[in-house]
Amino acid sequence: MKIVIVGAGKVGTALTAQFSQENEVTVIDQNPQLIENIINIYDVMGVCGNGASYAVQKEAGTDKAELLIATASSDEINILACLVAKKIGVRHTIARIRKPEYEEQLRFMRGELGLSMAVNPEKATAREIARVLRFPAAMKLESFSKGRLELVEYRLPEDSALNGIRLSDLYRNIRVRVLICAVARPGETIIPSGDFCLRSGDKIYLTASPDQLSQFFQHLGLFRKRASSVMIVGASKICYYLASELLKMGMSVKIIDQDQQRCVEMSERLPKALTIVGDGANLELLYEEGLQQTDAFVAITGIDEANILMALCAARQPGNCKVVAKINRRSLVDLVSKEELIDSVVSASSVTTELIVQYVRSMQSASGSGVKTLHRLVDGAVEALEFGVGANAPFLNIPLRNLELKSGILLAGIVRRSGEIVIPTGSDVLQSGDDVIVVTTDTTLQDIRDIFQ
């Protein structure tokens, strides 16, 4: 498939890396240095120019493309680039749109401009943070089948009760319907079987229904109630979306920012939140505002280093405060994750890339049993995908033990049409209307049929 990507920033580069192996990709950007860098690293074409220009798009071969993805820094350029591409004849267009005022009229814009998909990175990132605050024991929490099944990322501490436990013994002893579907260790990623033994320091990924997850962490003595009071540093777009969602969930929200004008605007838009003008890096201010009594601390300023330092200070305070930091630079994310310094880390560019990849993979499916949800794990080395099962699938009602799956693939969960959650065993079967969650090291799956030999 021919894909044109407008914008060679973090998201554009990540999408280029994802799609260039299996597709013909052309990248457009006004910065010649970025174009040169991306051509040297990936097997793609590059065009230097304004992605919203008809002449530049023609030069990039947009008239022969099936998909244009606009991820430039300007919402206006992204919208116009998609409109031009649609007029040229591109079937699918995706735009990154960040401004809240455009978000409010997005439904109208999608219909009038022919957008296949619009992604708001700040809103998507806010939703990811809100999910983690709902289940603070997790480093990261992802949902499938409209929240019926969830996937949790959790690192086993040095004194973990699970150290040395064989998975088959774990399931037999705790009587909780969870499935550990992936394990990350330094230098290796494992899709485990029943005889796999856990070790302290492992980063595990497990699937279960929300109530079974709660029981699992309660059994380990690690259950932490949903945050009820949240302190946010950084009155950004993410802050607006996050605070709005937390207030709807009945949480108490306190927002701190140095910029008085931003604080005024935030207090006008969110009167139920307490907004304070001040330096979030000032520990004395955080103490004065009740950091030690706060359930969760979220650092989402525009400076990665500041977010890390504030999160580290919050993490060292006595109590059970959940700490979340927004970090966009890959090198800093790797450092913080490796040293286990902060509870949870989010990246707007990673969230955006994941949503776009999910749509494209679903679009490429020919059978109608394509990707419904996609989450990337272990720095993209593993994917957790949700597929729908069609009425005419050839593998219906056959025990799973009699189906031959490709290597590196694990069925992590089945959600029946009735809402029943099934943690699969060899005697279970797939039925029409099921949602199936697949965890795999094969990052090219487009259809549920692709998981079978």
Per-residue model confidence as pLDDT tens digits over 148-164: 899 999 888 888 888 99
Residue 369 is predicted with a pLDDT of: 58
Q: Is the pLDDT of residue 366 over 70?
A: no
Would you give the DSSP letter of residue 111?
H
Q: Three-class SS of residue 28?
A: strand
Average pLDDT of the segment spanning 132-150:
86
Position of tokens 């450092």? 335
Q: Is 294:229 a contact under the CB 8 Å cutoff? A: yes
Work out whether strand 179-185 and strand 188-190 pair parallel, antiparallel, or are unpaired: antiparallel
Domains of the chain, start order: 2-119 (3.40.50.720), 131-219 (3.30.70.1450), 225-346 (3.40.50.720), 357-451 (3.30.70.1450)
Q: What is the pTM of this model?
A: 0.83
pLDDT tens per residue across span 169-193: 887 777 788 899 999 988 889 999 8
Distance CA 383, CA 418 (A): 26
- What is the rounded CA–CA span in Å between residue 90 and residue 88? 6
- Average pLDDT for 7-26: 93
What is the predicted pLDDT for the residue at 69?
Answer: 97
How much of the chain, in percent, has pLDDT values that exceed 70? 97
Per-residue pLDDT tens digits for 305-345: 999 999 999 988 877 889 999 998 888 887 887 667 788 99
Mean pLDDT taken over the chain = 89
pLDDT value at residue 169: 87
What is the residue-wise DSSP string for 164-189? T-BHHHHHHHH----EEEEEEETTEE
Residue 368 has pLDDT above 60, yes or no: no
Q: pLDDT tens, 224-244?
A: 677 899 999 999 999 999 999
Handedness of CA 363, 364, 367, 372 (dihedral sign): negative
